[in-house]
Amino acid sequence: MNELNLTPTGEPGRIHGIDALTGLPGREGLLRRVNELQADSQAALICIDLDQLSALNETLGLSAGDVLLVEAAHRIAKYAKSEDYLVRYGGDKFGLLLTSQTVPSQIEQIATALIEALRHPYLIAGREVYLGASIGLAFQQSHAVAHESPDGPQLQYSLLRHAEAALARAKLTSRGSWISYAPDMNRNFSGRLNLESELYQAIELHQFLVYYQPKASCKTGEISGFEALIRWQHPEKGVILPSEFIPTLENTGLIERVGAWVLRAACQQLKDWDAFDFERLKMAVNVSLRQLNDPLFPELVATILADTGLTADRLELELTESMLMHDVIRTESQLFRLKKIGVKLSIDDFGTGYSSLAYLKRLPIDTVKVDRAFVQDITTDPDDASITRAIISMAHSLKMAVVAEGIETDAQLSTLINQHCDMVQGYFIGKPMPSHDALALLQSGWVLAASTLGRPAKTRTLLLVDDEDSILSALKRLLRREGYRILSANSGAQGLEILAANDVDVIVSDQRMPNMTGEEFLRRTKDLYPETMRLVLSGYADMESITNAINQGAIYKFMSKPWDEQLLRECIAEAFRHKEMSDENHRLTAEVASKNQELLFKNQTLARLLDEQSHQSVVGLAALSASQETLHWIPVPIVGVDSEGLIVLRNAAFAELNFQSDIASLLLPKLPAWPNGSAHQFELIDANGAGWRVVGRHLVTQKQHRGTVFAFLSINDRHE
């Protein structure tokens, strides 16, 4: 048995393939020893994985994890004899190749003992720590596979692969126990190993590609940016979608390397497009949980931005809700570090995970992406439409932009624009495409047609008021791509004339103008057009009057000259959103009032119907009472029998009759042969010898038999 070097530090360079921490051989040594086994020899391999070691490293630090690994190696070594072979072939994985003990029952006993030994507490930094283990077993001789080679028949042994397959099954289905290899495990594990091997080759051979899916602005219909999506150009299978290999990249840790490459390629591509006058485009890149958990990830992002020359505000990192909730404290710290760089942050697939409003308010998120699951049936499912509308309204109230995914039809697009969604993405806009196709799309001047865009008849209208033409020109240049209808005036009086002739949403006015100050102009505007959003942009201001105007609602916001371009654009965009939300509230209020009026009318109609029915019921009860009274005093004997043979009605004349037996027993035998709806008669003789001709008729209501009414007519002749 190999000796353990329990020195915490070692010199791995001196002995090739030796673990510096434990002094044990590694994976290469294990493979070499397995290959040296004779074809007819018997051997068994135990693969051991320490559960929750990563959690221990995060809690107590890597040094604590090192101490535990050394102690675990000691415990495992106690079950190995001199001819056995112990290795550490992974971060938390050990392998024990047994050649001295090969009886399956003995190996299983060793596995059980190892599970128990590794479960005992470890003393780390003065405290007891508990850690379990999962084990996979494989026996060599029973799983040797013969195949032909140029040199003649040979044996290929898959001992490690089989033990690893059993270990994977143990971790998945019965963590903290052992499982022995079964042939069905090999198929799944073999496929996974092949995929891992191919992915390593794909990285080395540069087989990964980045495709770009366009996003369109709901305001202008123009392409506003792209989302970078990875593809695998497999030499035999063609282009493979990420859903087939991303989970494996995550499990193997390769996602960090591949993710960094995608991020750099996407940033470089966006910067390259700047040469074609597309400087306003933005690029979204998906981030994995492993990347986000890497403490150096913000530095990596900053380095890539610096290397490519791309400004941080043009990069948007997309994260899923489940990632944000995985470790909120660490996630929050990472996100704020990324925000310091200046990048934008987006929540992908919003609404399908936790949707925690508390954390959404707490985290520095810029954009919310509505999941395609809600968009797919937005035109036919009222619930999806309501959820989407609520997400958009909530995001805007938190000053976040909204992107809707999975747009495939014109109707979906129109519905989302009417709900004030900011951007859309999906096959209706464009499928993910190679970079050259994306550039061709941009150069074609692609834009959603006005009819397809389905924008509301009312266009966002902005009124600029300033007595300096140069200021007006500068503002128009700054805002010309925002999709606004821009009107301008050189004075407050001219501004009032324009307001009288146009439906204006937002007004940006200078303060210091001749004849009428900006404050006075906006006060008049408030009285005449209270629904407008009014902003002051000035290098001079009487702060007391401005403050009073703001407090009285005449001014929405004050901004100073010279202005910050980005801040000014955001303030104006926010004013439009505020105006649109106000318009929507007015529309909803009017709609609610209309529905309430309609409901009131229906309630009144229903009340009248109920009154009529109540009156009819009273009349009916009175008529029924009169009928019963009349029936009771009719001189003809009458009796009613229900479908169960019980007498439910008899009048006074019938009560005077004298029958020796129960009348129902005399009448019921006559009933079965009678068809419903017809009258029949028969004769009876009472106890006094009086003869009666009985006329009966079934009572039928809604095709159901309710009983029978019998009338007794006297027969004058008496029988002796």
Whole-number pLDDT of residue 673: 58
Q: What residue ranges of the chain are covered by domains with CATH 3.40.50.2300?
A: 461-588
Helix (H, G, I), strand (E, B) or coil at 641: strand
Instruction: Evaluate if residue 308 carries a pLDDT over 50.
Output: yes
pLDDT-based confidence at residue 345 (cuts at 50, 70, 90): very high
Per-residue pLDDT of 371-411, as tens digits, reads 888 888 887 666 777 788 888 888 888 889 999 999 998 87
Q: What residue ranges of the chain are covered by domains with CATH 3.30.70.270?
A: 27-181
Fold of 634-715: Beta-Lactamase (3.30.450)
Q: Which amino acid is at 651?
A: N
Whole-number pLDDT of residue 73: 94
Which of 255-269, 367-381, 447-461, 609-623 is most confident?
A: 255-269
User: Hey, how many other C-beta atoms are within 10 angstroms of the C-beta on 457?
Assistant: 4
Q: What is the mean pLDDT of residues 588-600?
A: 74
Superfamily classification of domain 27-181:
Reverse transcriptase/Diguanylate cyclase domain (3.30.70.270)
Q: Bigger pLDDT: 10 or 624?
A: 624
Rounded to the nearest 10°, the torsion over CA 353, 358, 362, 367 is: 40
Which whole-number Å values give the CA distances from 479 to 252, 463, 469, 490, in the listed order?
48, 12, 15, 18
- The percentage of residues in the chain with a pLDDT greater than 70, rounded to a whole number, is 81
Assigned token pair, 391: 């997400």
Superfamily classification of domain 461-588:
Response regulator (3.40.50.2300)
Question: Which residue in 148, 126, 130 sits closest to 52, CA to CA?
Answer: 130
Whole-number pLDDT of residue 156: 38
pLDDT-based confidence at residue 362 (cuts at 50, 70, 90): confident
Q: Bigger pLDDT: 106 or 321?
A: 106
Q: Which amino acid is at 230?
A: I
Per-residue pLDDT of 502-521, as tens digits, reads 778 999 988 888 888 888 88
Q: CB–CB of 472/496 below 8 Å?
A: no
Instruction: Evaluate if residue 258 carries a pLDDT over 90.
Output: yes
Assigned token pair, 622: 């009175």
Q: What is the mean pLDDT of residues 455-474?
A: 83
Extended beta strands in 416-560, E state: 423-425, 461-465, 485-489, 506-509, 533-538, 557-560
Q: What residue ranges of the chain are covered by domains with CATH 3.30.450.20?
A: 634-715
Whole-number pLDDT of residue 703: 63
**Residue 568's beta-bridge partner residues?**
none
Whole-number pLDDT of residue 382: 62
Whole-number pLDDT of residue 15: 38
- For domain 202-442, the CATH class is alpha beta
What pTM does this model have? 0.47
- What DSSP string runs through 25-77? B-HHHHHHHHHTS-TT---EEEEEEETTHHHHHHHH-HHHHHHHHHHHHHHHH
Among 120-124, 128-132, 309-313, which stretch is predicted with the lowest mean pLDDT?
A: 128-132
Instruction: Evaluate if residue 668 carries a pLDDT over 70.
Output: no
Among 245-249, 432-436, 669-673, which stretch is predicted with the lowest mean pLDDT?
A: 669-673
Q: Is the peptide bond before 183 cis (omega within 30 degrees of 0)?
A: no
Question: Which residue in 258, 195, 196 sits closest to 228, CA to CA?
Answer: 258
Question: DSSP secondary-structure letter at 447?
Answer: B
Among all chains, which residue has been given the structure tokens 């318009």? 583
Q: Bigger pLDDT: 94 or 99?
A: 94
Q: Which amino acid is at 662?
A: D
**Residue 536's beta-bridge partner residues?**
509, 558
User: Hey, how many other C-beta atoms are within 10 angstroms of the C-beta on 57?
Assistant: 17
Q: Bigger pLDDT: 213 or 361?
A: 213
Q: Bigger pLDDT: 320 or 147?
A: 320
CA dist., res. 130 & res. 124, Å (int): 10
Q: What residue ranges of the chain are covered by domains with CATH 3.20.20.450?
A: 202-442
Question: DSSP secondary-structure letter at 409?
Answer: S
Instruction: Evaluate if residue 354 carries a pLDDT over 80.
Output: no
Question: Which residue in 158, 139, 138, 137 sits closest to 147, CA to CA?
Answer: 158
CA dist., res. 536 & res. 522, Å (int): 9
Assigned token pair, 679: 């009258």
Tell me the helices (H) and strands (E) count for the chain, helix number first.
Answer: 25, 28
User: Hey, how many other C-beta atoms are within 10 angstroms of the C-beta on 490?
Assistant: 17
CA dist., res. 245 & res. 202, Å (int): 11
Q: Which amino acid is at 323?
A: M
Whole-number pLDDT of residue 718: 47
Assigned token pair, 425: 């993405």
Whole-number pLDDT of residue 140: 78
Whole-number pLDDT of residue 192: 67
Extended beta strands in 326-447, E state: 344-350, 367-370, 401-404, 423-425
Whole-number pLDDT of residue 78: 92
Instruction: Evaluate if residue 713 carries a pLDDT over 80.
Output: yes
**Averaged pLDDT score across all residues of the chain:** 81
Assigned token pair, 607: 């009340």
pLDDT-based confidence at residue 719 (cuts at 50, 70, 90): very low
CA dist., res. 230 & res. 208, Å (int): 7
- Kindly state the greatest CA–CA separation across the chain: 137
Whole-number pLDDT of residue 544: 63
Q: Bigger pLDDT: 262 or 121?
A: 262
Question: DSSP secondary-structure letter at 216?
Answer: E
Helix (H, G, I), strand (E, B) or coil at 463: strand
First to last CA, the chain: 126
